[in-house]
C-alpha cells in the first residue's frame, strides 16, 4: 500500500497564496521504487487501440522517435489506480470537498524531449467540464532545470482563464516571473488549473518522468469519460491516427 500524503495548514495557506504547493517527500523512497516499476510496466504494455494512449514526438536532439506521453492509465493498470486513490485525500484537503479524478498521464520527457510554452492547464478546454481543477505532479525521476523541470509563476492563478487554446502571450505574461521548481523522486507539486507554468526541453542525458493526476471537486461532477471521449475525437493516441490528417498540439 502506498503512503497517503497529508497536508498541514501551512501547505493549504501556501497553495491559496501561490496557486501551487511543493510537498517534499510526499511518497517514500520505497513507494517511489514501486511507482518507477509501474512506469516501466506501463511502457512495456503493448501499444494497441482501445487501451492506454501513447503519444510520440521527434527528439529535439537528433529527430529520433521518442515516447512523449502516456495518458488514460489507471483504467488499465491497478498500481496507478491505487496512486490515483492515494492522492484523493490531499486533493480533498485542497478542494474543500471530496475529489473526483478527471485525467492522468505520464510525461516522459526523454533526453531530446520537448518543453512546454507558458500556459494554464484550463486553457486546453478543461473549462468545458468544470471551473476549477487541481493537478498533482509526482516526480518519478529527479527534475532539474537542465532536464526540463516545471517552472511556476506563483500568485497569478487568481486572475482566472486567459485566452483559450493558445499559450500565454507576452502581454498576458507581463509581471509574471517563471521560477524553476526542481523536484526529487517522491516530491509532489499540487497546482491550480489557472496557475501559469512552463518547462524547457530536455537537452540533458537523463530521462525526466513525471506523473500528473488531475481532479475536480465532487460537486462539479464526474467528467473523465466525457473528457477522454472528446479528446479522442480531436487528438487521438498515435495508434488511432488517420494518415492523411494533421493533428496539432495547441496547449
Ligand X SMILES: O=C(O)CCC(=O)C(=O)O
Residues that bind Fe ion (CB under 5 A): 121
- Nearest-approach distance from CB 6 to ligand X, in angstroms: 25
107 binds, among Fe ion, ligand X, none (CB under 5 to 8 A by kind): ligand X
User: Is 116 among the residues that bind ligand X (CB under 6 A)?
Assistant: yes
Contact flag: residue 53 with ligand X (CB under 6 A): no
Q: Least distance in Å: CB of 121 to ligand X?
A: 5
* Closer by beta carbon to Fe ion, 25 or else 182: 182
Alpha-carbon span 39 to 33, nearest angstrom: 10
Closest separation in Å from C-beta 124 to Fe ion:
8
Size of site (CB under 6 A) for ligand X: 9
Q: Smallest distance from the beta carbon of 88 to ligand X, in angstroms?
A: 21
* Torsion angles phi and psi, residue 68, rounded to 5: -95, -35
Q: Is residue 181 close enough to count as binding ligand X by CB under 6 A?
A: no
CA distance linking residue 246 with residue 233, whole number of Å: 13
How far apart are CB 210 and ligand X at their closest, in Å? Answer: 5
- Nearer of residues 12 and 58 to ligand X, judged by Cβ: 58
209 contact choice in Fe ion, ligand X, none (CB below 5 to 8 Å, kind-dependent): none
Query: Binding residue for ligand X (CB under 6 A) from 39, 93, 183, 199?
Result: 199
The nearest distance, CB 238 to Fe ion, in angstroms, is: 20
Query: Which lies closer to ligand X via its Cβ, residue 93 or residue 198?
Result: 198
Indicate whether 191 belongs to the interface with ligand X (CB under 6 A).
Answer: no
DSSP letter at 19 equals: S
Q: Does 151 bind ligand X (CB under 6 A)?
A: no
Nearest to 183 by CA among 243, 238, 142: 142
**Out of 19, 90, 118, 148, which residue is the one contacting ligand X (CB under 6 A)?**
148
| C-alpha cell belonging to residue 175 | 509581471
* Least distance to Fe ion, CB of residue 117, Å: 10
Look at residue 191 and give the partner it binds from Fe ion, ligand X, none, a contact being a CB closer than 5 to 8 Å depending on partner kind: none
d(CA 239, CA 70): 12
Residues of the shown chain interacting with ligand X in the complex, contacts defined by CB under 6 A: 107, 109, 116, 121, 148, 150, 197, 199, 210
Amino acid at each position: 500500500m502506498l503512503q497517503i500524503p497529508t497536508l498541514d495548514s501551512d501547505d493549504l495557506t501556501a497553495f491559496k497564496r501561490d496557486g501551487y504547493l511543493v510537498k517534499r517527500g510526499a511518497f517514500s523512497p520505497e513507494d517511489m521504487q514501486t511507482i518507477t516499476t509501474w512506469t516501466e510496466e506501463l511502457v512495456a504494455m503493448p501499444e494497441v487501440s482501445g487501451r492506454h494512449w501513447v503519444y510520440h514526438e521527434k527528439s529535439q536532439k537528433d529527430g529520433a522517435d521518442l515516447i512523449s506521453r502516456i495518458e488514460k492509465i489507471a483504467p488499465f493498470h491497478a498500481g496507478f489506480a491505487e496512486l490515483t486513490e492515494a492522492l484523493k485525500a490531499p486533493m480533498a484537503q485542497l478542494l474543500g470537498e471530496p475529489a473526483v479524478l478527471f485525467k492522468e498521464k505520464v510525461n516522459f520527457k526523454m533526453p531530446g524531449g520537448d518543453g512546454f510554452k507558458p500556459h494554464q492547464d484550463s486553457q486546453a478546454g478543461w473549462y468545458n467540464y468544470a471551473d476549477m481543477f487541481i493537478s498533482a505532479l509526482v516526480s518519478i525521476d529527479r527534475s532539474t532545470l537542465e532536464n526540463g523541470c516545471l517552472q511556476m509563476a506563483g500568485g497569478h492563478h487568481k486572475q482566472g482563464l486567459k485566452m483559450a487554446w493558445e499559450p500565454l502571450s507576452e502581454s498576458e505574461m507581463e509581471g509574471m516571473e517563471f521560477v524553476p521548481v526542481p523536484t526529487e523522486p517522491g516530491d509532489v507539486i499540487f497546482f491550480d488549473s489557472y496557475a501559469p507554468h512552463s518547462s524547457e526541453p530536455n537537452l540533458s542525458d537523463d530521462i525526466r518522468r513525471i506523473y500528473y493526476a488531475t481532479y475536480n471537486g465532487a460537486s462539479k461532477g464526474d467528467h473523465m469519460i466525457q473528457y477522454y471521449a472528446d479528446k479522442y475525437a480531436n487528438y487521438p493516441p498515435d495508434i488511432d491516427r488517420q494518415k492523411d490528417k494533421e493533428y496539432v498540439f495547441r496547449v
